[in-house]
Structure 1
Amino acid sequence: MDILQEIWSGLRHNKLRTVLTGLSVSWGIFILIILLAAGNGLKNGVTSNFSDRATNTVQIWPGRTSKPHQGYQSGRGLSLTNKEVQKIDEDVREMTDRTPVLDNYLTITNKAEYGSYSVRGVTPLYTSIFNLKFAENGGRFINQTDMNEKRKVIVLDKKVVDVLFKDEPALGKFVQVGQVMFQVVGINTKKDNWGNGNAYIPLSTSQAIFNPDEKYRSIAMTVNGLKTMEENDTFNLELKRSLAQTMIFDPEDTQALWIRNSQRDYIETMNIFNGITLFVSIIGIFTLIAGIVGVSNIMLVTVKERTREIGIRKALGAPPAQILFSIILESIMITAFFGYVGMMTGIGITEAVNFVMEQSAAQNPSDTGMSVFKNPTVNLTYVYISTLILIIAGIIAGYMPARRAVKIKPIEAMRDEN
């Protein structure tokens, strides 16, 4: 108890020194937490954009040739037809589901409400490929009977329903698509990151009414077994070479066929954020080192200032171990207290930011669901370890100069003029 009172008296007597030492500790922990939270927030925000979509989806679109090939001039527009669908079925072993996609930008009308939307002609497999979602009373997606009978049924995104029907029920109602009436059989509640929403009709119906030429806008599929960037790049290259045979273009033509591989995009994104995490960790380590240097420098000055005091205490019979212990305990108390202050301040700010973002999301339920920054929290294990490192550094920083000081003879220590 006497030692604690003595330490407290010393800290009060040297407030500036105490605050400077503590700030170097608090600042190191605080910055570490903010950096880690910011890195995690960015990573969580971007990765959440992949959570509602399949990460093994591949979609292809026809382009325009930029190289002459087999007697054809460059600048030739290409198309996707049933030949390409059959070629994919024959050559793509990794494929599990696939659907051709027709796309028409049409006006959809319900009474006085109307809007222009992408009306996609698709097969029943589209919902599993793109993870569409339906509430318990949200109806259904297109089925095989709709395809076989070329039914005039339509599934609407929630965005479209909100515009066309406001607060009215949409299921079972009829809407006018172009000049044709379709019955609403389902409502997709999955939040779309882009655009004002889509509508979906049976592929066979779209071909009969809107696309008699049977040229597809794109082909979408799910694939399995592609886990690395190299495997996905090889898959994209082989797919392009396969379709080059039926579409007749140079496989090296970068403009002839557009391929979006969501698994490759996901791996690339994760690699980027692994790099960001490493970068943030390195900055955090250097911040801790700066804190350790700050503690060490101030403790050196502290012991230097107290050399005369140490000599007097030794002359009065104080054991060297007791003097050493008091200096080390003072270092521990400063490091632990201000480390805790920095930790709680950093955690408080990250939690406040997280709360504000959650409240903002709750107040905008119709938002697209796309996030750039989300849940900026930090693993407290790293924080505790960092604080412990600083405390250990504080012990070492206090011990080394104090050990040298207590070895000085009392008469020499009392002559010290600082």
Structure 2
Amino acid sequence: MFDLDRWREIFQSINKNRLRSVMSGFTVAFAILLFTLLFGIVSGLSNTFTDAFADDAQNAMFVRVWKTSKPYKGLQTGRTIQLRNSDYNYINDEYGNKIQYKSSRIYKNFTLKYKNEASNYSVMAINPDHQFLEKTIINEGRYVNERDIKDKSKVIVIGRLIKEDLFGQKPALGKRLNVNGSSYLIIGIFSDEGGDNEERKAFIPLSTAQMIYGNNDYISQIALGYDPKLSLDAAVAFGNQMERDLRNKMNIHPDDQSALSVQNMAEANKGVGQFMGILYAIVILVGSGTLVAGIIGISNIMIFVIKERTKEFGIRKALGAKPSSIVGIVVQETVLITTLAGYLGLSFGTYLLSLIGNSLEEDYFIKDPSVSTGIVIGATIVLILSGLIASYIPAKKAANIKPIVALRAD
């Protein structure tokens, strides 16, 4: 394996037969290159779907209401449906064992002011569990807690960009903020993976908003997180059952999607999983076909090469060379070519993905296309082993031919 003379012979053989060596290497490199690009693009699509749902928990569900579009039980079309605290409590009482997180929501747009700086922002009234449903990251201070809900405290948690807009580089935690004419204590500053829009939001206790802005028990939306131990099918069934029960409770037509809907991340996750599974199956099929084509190409080239070198092997045997040394030199040469070509194909494929990554994201919404090194290395190893087998079998056959027969070969 580490015989210097053998390696010198291998490099001399490669240099002497450049076209054959290039063709063998090209077959391997092209197979790995195409394999890398296909898996990279599919991986980029997977990243796109993941990024699209980065702002919400993967087990989130949202109950939304609007106006009826169908008459039902003598009630007219166009009736406004209003969620209340009782609906939130009903869901908790009926399905508490299937719920991990829960929060009501009230949406407001208020002017937030600190000294001479003021601007309009989205302010959401929530329950404490909302932090986990929105995957909110607390950078300073804390989030709204149960004590704030019970005491109807006038406290506020602001996004990182609100802090920059109103306070600049100065500290904001513990300061008083004018919220639509009322003074609120800043108890926390957060960041969010959802981007700039999410970091220009603020959160206040739900009970405080109901007391100050309407003196009622109205809520805009209910956000839930189903038990992550549920399978996707069980989570989808849970969401459908809850929707049917809420429709019955609020006297809404079973098919009236305008009046009430439950957006269930389990359905989206299931759909994305099925779609990505089909894509990966297609890529594996095409990639496997590419690898098979590469294997056939190597095999054909090696059969031709060994046939061409039969006289050479005959001379070697006549001079005392053992069959194992003849087989060894052919196998080592093949493994060297396939390994180098596989590495070049992998490197070039990875480089191409990084080169076109931004344009793919802008034009085709394929985010950060990349491929697992382990997958491509595995494919390269398959090709190397195939090349080894493709060279070993005919080399073994040629090495066992008697020298006189080998010398007479055409």
Above 0.5 in TM-score? yes
1:109 aligns with 2:103: no
Listed as ranges, the matches of 1:225-244 within 5 Å are 227-244=230-247
The answer to whether the 8 Å contact 2:232/2:270 transfers is yes
Distance 1:214 1:398, change over 3 A: same
Mean Cα deviation higher: 274-283 or 386-395: 274-283
Cross-structure match for 2:219: 216
Cross-structure match for 2:272: 269
Question: Offset of 1:61 from its aligned partner?
Answer: 1.0
Cross-structure match for 2:342: 339
The answer to whether the 8 Å contact 1:22/1:335 transfers is yes
Question: Offset of 1:288 from its aligned partner?
Answer: 1.7
Question: Offset of 1:21 from its aligned partner?
Answer: 0.7
Cross-structure match for 2:253: 250
Question: Offset of 1:218 from its aligned partner?
Answer: 0.2
Q: 1:9 aligns with which of 9, 12, 16?
A: 12
Distance 1:99 1:332, change over 3 A: closer
**d(CA) in 1 for partners of 2:11, 2:367:** 44
Cross-structure match for 1:121: 125
**d(CA) in 2 for partners of 1:317, 1:102:** 91
Q: 1:386 aligns with which of 364, 379, 382?
A: 379
**d(CA) in 2 for partners of 1:376, 1:400:** 37
Mean Cα deviation higher: 371-380 or 10-19: 371-380
Question: Offset of 1:70 from its aligned partner?
Answer: 0.7
1:300 aligns with 2:303: yes
Question: Offset of 1:273 from its aligned partner?
Answer: 3.3
Distance 1:389 1:146, change over 3 A: closer
**d(CA) in 2 for partners of 1:120, 1:306:** 79
Question: Offset of 1:322 from its aligned partner?
Answer: 4.8
Question: Offset of 1:153 from its aligned partner?
Answer: 2.1
Distance 1:123 1:415, change over 3 A: closer
Cross-structure match for 1:204: 207
The answer to whether the 8 Å contact 1:29/1:343 transfers is yes
The answer to whether the 8 Å contact 1:229/1:264 transfers is yes
The answer to whether the 8 Å contact 1:91/1:242 transfers is no
Cross-structure match for 2:292: 289
The answer to whether the 8 Å contact 2:35/2:290 transfers is yes
Listed as ranges, the matches of 1:8-407 within 5 Å are 8-43=11-46, 46-47=49-50, 53-93=56-96, 94-135=98-139, 138-193=140-195, 195=197, 197-224=200-227, 227-310=230-313, 322-346=325-349, 373-374=367-368, 376=370, 378-380=372-374, 382-402=375-395, 405=398
Question: Offset of 1:226 from its aligned partner?
Answer: 5.5
The answer to whether the 8 Å contact 2:41/2:366 transfers is no
Percent identity of paired positions between Structure 1 and Structure 2: 32
Question: Offset of 1:80 from its aligned partner?
Answer: 0.7
Paired residue secondary structure (1:92):
helix
Mean Cα deviation higher: 288-297 or 49-58: 49-58
Question: Offset of 1:374 from its aligned partner?
Answer: 4.9
Distance 1:294 1:201, change over 3 A: same
Mean Cα deviation higher: 303-312 or 63-72: 303-312
Distance 1:78 1:294, change over 3 A: same
Pairwise CA RMSD: 3.4
Unmatched 5+ stretches in structure 1:
358-370
**1:125-161 Cα deviation digits (max 9, x unpaired):** 33344343323xx222233443344332221111221
The answer to whether the 8 Å contact 2:314/2:406 transfers is yes
The answer to whether the 8 Å contact 1:105/1:116 transfers is yes
* Equivalent AA in structure 1 for residue 337 of structure 2: I
The answer to whether the 8 Å contact 1:63/1:258 transfers is no
Count of aligned positions:
399
Question: Offset of 1:295 from its aligned partner?
Answer: 1.0
Question: Offset of 1:119 from its aligned partner?
Answer: 1.3
The answer to whether the 8 Å contact 1:62/1:80 transfers is yes
Question: Offset of 1:179 from its aligned partner?
Answer: 2.9
Q: Give the TM-score, by structure 2 length.
A: 0.82
Cross-structure match for 2:362: none
Question: Offset of 1:299 from its aligned partner?
Answer: 1.6
Question: Offset of 1:18 from its aligned partner?
Answer: 0.8
**d(CA) in 2 for partners of 1:372, 1:110:** 41
Question: Offset of 1:296 from its aligned partner?
Answer: 1.5
* Equivalent AA in structure 1 for residue 183 of structure 2: M
Distance 1:317 1:220, change over 3 A: closer
Question: Offset of 1:163 from its aligned partner?
Answer: 1.5
The answer to whether the 8 Å contact 2:100/2:228 transfers is no
* Equivalent AA in structure 2 for residue 186 of structure 1: G
**1:338-378 Cα deviation digits (max 9, x unpaired):** 3344345556777x77xx99xxxxxxxxxxxxx96359352
Distance 1:102 1:51, change over 3 A: closer
**d(CA) in 2 for partners of 1:255, 1:403:** 74
* Equivalent AA in structure 2 for residue 160 of structure 1: I
Question: Offset of 1:249 from its aligned partner?
Answer: 0.5
The answer to whether the 8 Å contact 2:236/2:266 transfers is no
**d(CA) in 2 for partners of 1:109, 1:122:** 21
Distance 1:96 1:159, change over 3 A: same
Paired residue secondary structure (1:281):
helix
**d(CA) in 2 for partners of 1:186, 1:322:** 74
The answer to whether the 8 Å contact 2:161/2:196 transfers is no
